Structure 1
């Protein structure tokens, strides 16, 4: 078929390209076979009433059906809403209601996830647009809605209508990380997705002959989907994990000589912990990581010593993952920092002082603003939120704090909501957390800002080390140590020892609930 410039279909036709395009659960899939499955899925969707502007929600793990439905929806002018497999009933209902999905493609079962039980807690009245479920792996599941089996690959369906030509309308909806009012839906077009995929492939200089990728992040998030599309654009074979587990990831990395992979710091920590080999991945070239957990610098140093080169990244649902990355020529300390160099030569990054509103000079922290071909179309059916997020000149206000280096790269420091203005200065919590973790008896630390008698102060939570030979951390000792290392305005007003931090599972890893930590801090201070 004709491949429109900027379409998702154009990514498959990259020449020269490696075959297979994908390896799912050890089974190779050529590019010709991939195109055929997409054709079959286009016919299946059309036969079930999906057309231009209709929304199809996908609630699947990483499998061929996910890719085929996305590409097929693009051909029909339909829209895919990505549902995180970690979601439960309230979150699924919110996404279905907000997107207006008329069809939900869902797993019959996967490991311990009972999709039918979760859907049983979703009231039909809460999702009035939903008409039907398409079940992968079974004929039906117990549900309030009619079920059909997703059998696009098993039987022929009547030919679909001609493909849509508009690559600039919404085709994929990601969820944001969420607020108390529920996550927004970030709309991307074929053009924003495909253009960015090509930019990443070029920036990484991908070669079908020299490179291979392990896809271990969920397709429902931009981190997983961007890597998938970029390496498809680069003509590189992609080995897919249906869901991350360290043992099968280690096996694929080792047996297939994987050169590229992307994941969270925790993923790579778990993989490295399973092997005693000093340099287990001799072909590793670029392993990009997002730092969600404390101790990521120590992890990067260990990985480097064992021949696993980690590269800091930056991205978001709004500008897509892999927006930027460190370079091999960067000093190690710079290369592992979040941020790096934009993948697209057309991308522009600036930093705005959050107090004055003026653009910040190099080296000065402020809110990161981005203009790039990878920028989203807007928040789906939410023009007010879109207006708030986009500056008059088209730059996206990221809500992230960082600084420009002055050489074309930048550093991501923290979320704006997490950044603390102490003593008149913006302070990243990680700076204080790293110092606390260097203290004897401290295994982990988190720092948040609170209002204490009208003054912004920080409060620390620490987890004791499990080493029986070390004394539990003492407040006065920790404060004295920090006073030796940090400016006075960075010293925590309180340091509390806890057994664990409150966390939330997301598509890309486990994240600390910093808002909950702030509440805990205020409750404890009030109790005093």
Structure 2
């Protein structure tokens, strides 16, 4: 393959099935999409965006999102993907770390008031941001200058000849470990395009026979990777602007969708809306991430109704759909997280967390991965990048699993303190720092618990001289953080349970989780 074969533009196959996309019932052919990407590139260039500049994209799933990514690739610019569930503190952090020069934002979407969120972002925190570009309106009330995103409505001078280097950053995902604020995971056109091709080949996608229901947000690797895999295959993609079970059910039924990817809760909600014994006879693969208790029972029930669930594995650093179960696996193996790597060049190994040695098959340890889909590094954070990569180039995932011995592996759990909330990996430090910034809070700790079948976080707060009002704390967090990060309970305590060790005093997070469950049960 030549270098150009790893560009994003190379994924748009002229021989694929039309349409390439269907957005809210409106088809967009491959030729039309290519034209829109060119229009978006011309528009970005007219806004002063060039090689190395960062554009933050804060949009729901719409054609503008994908067109901007392909346009940035042409110009050598970089897209920073902003989660539409983010609130002011998270948006400010991403803009600051990325150094975004321009942000393309929704005017409004359902209950999300983008203008109100932006009004709570201190302009001094994000000095690089010059202006906002609004999709769907002429302007948005904010302290920044704003223009309308009108790339598809009026002609702009053609963009310069392609400037993109396929090995430089083109897309930044957000991810959280155990530190304050999300890190930005940088991917190049090569890592994105080569993995998309691997996905299309591993799933044996046929553009004339297969189609995708894209119900995951493009701002995350799960939604973007599945989308690009089907783009690479030339297969049609039916897009939901944001997930809702009823329209997902309608598209699955009316358009005879063969593939869908999502969380266990998404598939649970879709099944709950129909009484038909086997409502989706055409479905071949439903790749799912298990975030909620009872996912094995869901897989059994879904299988009986013709919705075949396949366990998978991925992360922002190695991309989603890194691996997936196979139809040749036993049902029990097929639904487990992990599976078989999509790329034949990917390598998975497990390291014993106690001895530091590589673990034998069947022995649990930290999963390490080397693959063409691996990220370039954490954007503007070389130390975090060095910490995450071994001397021989494997990514330390921070996940615990084991090798099966047949070429597949099993994901078991997340190591460390990171929490899985609302389908997203969240660092406790993010929420704790917001609590500590509130009046009346001297210190705070946050843990995740199972609350009525859902993973929720619970906060423990050591009050300052004047104890805070818990309702006021919750209201403040709702203004600053995505809803899934807001604690379900906030408990005031005099001190945290701790353990003295050679390395200092450590907070007993396991004891905090137990305390949270005890208090909830007592209620």
**TM-score where L is the length of structure 2:** 0.82
Structure 1: runs of 5+ lacking an equivalent: 420-458, 466-498
Q: In structure 2, do the counterparts of structure 1 residues 525 and 213 end up closer, same or farther at CA, with 3 Å as the change threshold? A: closer
**TM-score where L is the length of structure 1:** 0.82
CA deviations 1:228-250 (Å, max 9, x no partner) are 10000001000000000000000
> What secondary structure is seen at the aligned counterpart in 2 of 1:73?
helix
Report how far residue 178 of structure 1 moved. Answer: 5.1
Aligned to 2:308: 309
> What secondary structure is seen at the aligned counterpart in 1 of 2:4?
coil
Q: Distance in 2 between matches of 1:6 and 1:38?
A: 17
Aligned to 1:321: 320
Instruction: Tell me whether 1:4 sits opposite 2:4 in the alignment.
Output: yes
1:343-362 aligned at under 5 Å gives the runs: 343-362=342-361
In the alignment, is the contact (CA less than 8 A) between 1:227 and 1:262 conserved in 2? yes
Instruction: Tell me whether 1:292 sits opposite 2:291 in the alignment.
Output: yes
Q: In structure 2, do the counterparts of structure 1 residues 516 and 118 end up closer, same or farther at CA, with 3 Å as the change threshold? A: farther
Report how far residue 5 of structure 1 moved. Answer: 1.5
Instruction: Tell me whether 1:153 sits opposite 2:152 in the alignment.
Output: yes
> What secondary structure is seen at the aligned counterpart in 1 of 2:191?
helix
Report how far residue 521 of structure 1 moved. Answer: 2.5
> What secondary structure is seen at the aligned counterpart in 1 of 2:301?
helix
1:226-245 aligned at under 5 Å gives the runs: 226-245=225-244
Q: In structure 2, do the counterparts of structure 1 residues 525 and 210 end up closer, same or farther at CA, with 3 Å as the change threshold? A: closer
1:435-454 aligned at under 5 Å gives the runs: none
> What secondary structure is seen at the aligned counterpart in 1 of 2:280?
coil
Q: Distance in 2 between matches of 1:223 and 1:359?
A: 29
1:199-218 aligned at under 5 Å gives the runs: 199-218=198-217
Aligned to 2:457: 502
Q: Distance in 1 between matches of 2:333 and 2:394?
A: 25
Aligned to 2:428: none
Report how far residue 349 of structure 1 moved. Answer: 0.2
Aligned to 1:108: 107
Report how far residue 416 of structure 1 moved. Answer: 1.0
Q: In structure 2, do the counterparts of structure 1 residues 463 and 82 end up closer, same or farther at CA, with 3 Å as the change threshold? A: closer
> What secondary structure is seen at the aligned counterpart in 2 of 1:67?
helix
Q: In structure 2, do the counterparts of structure 1 residues 141 and 463 end up closer, same or farther at CA, with 3 Å as the change threshold? A: closer
Q: Distance in 2 between matches of 1:523 and 1:281?
A: 41
Report how far residue 159 of structure 1 moved. Answer: 1.1
Aligned to 1:39: 38
In the alignment, is the contact (CA less than 8 A) between 1:502 and 1:516 conserved in 2? no
Aligned pair count reads: 452
1:23-422 aligned at under 5 Å gives the runs: 23-177=22-176, 179-417=178-416
Q: Distance in 1 between matches of 2:449 and 2:387?
A: 33
Structure 2: runs of 5+ lacking an equivalent: 419-446, 459-476, 489-507
Report how far residue 164 of structure 1 moved. Answer: 1.5
Q: Distance in 2 between matches of 1:391 and 1:512?
A: 35
Q: Distance in 2 between matches of 1:137 and 1:210?
A: 35
In the alignment, is the contact (CA less than 8 A) between 2:449 and 2:455 conserved in 1? no
Instruction: Tell me whether 1:16 sits opposite 2:15 in the alignment.
Output: yes
In the alignment, is the contact (CA less than 8 A) between 2:134 and 2:147 conserved in 1? yes
Aligned to 1:455: none
Q: Distance in 2 between matches of 1:376 and 1:330?
A: 29
Report how far residue 16 of structure 1 moved. Answer: 2.7
In the alignment, is the contact (CA less than 8 A) between 2:350 and 2:367 conserved in 1? yes
Report how far residue 501 of structure 1 moved. Answer: 4.1
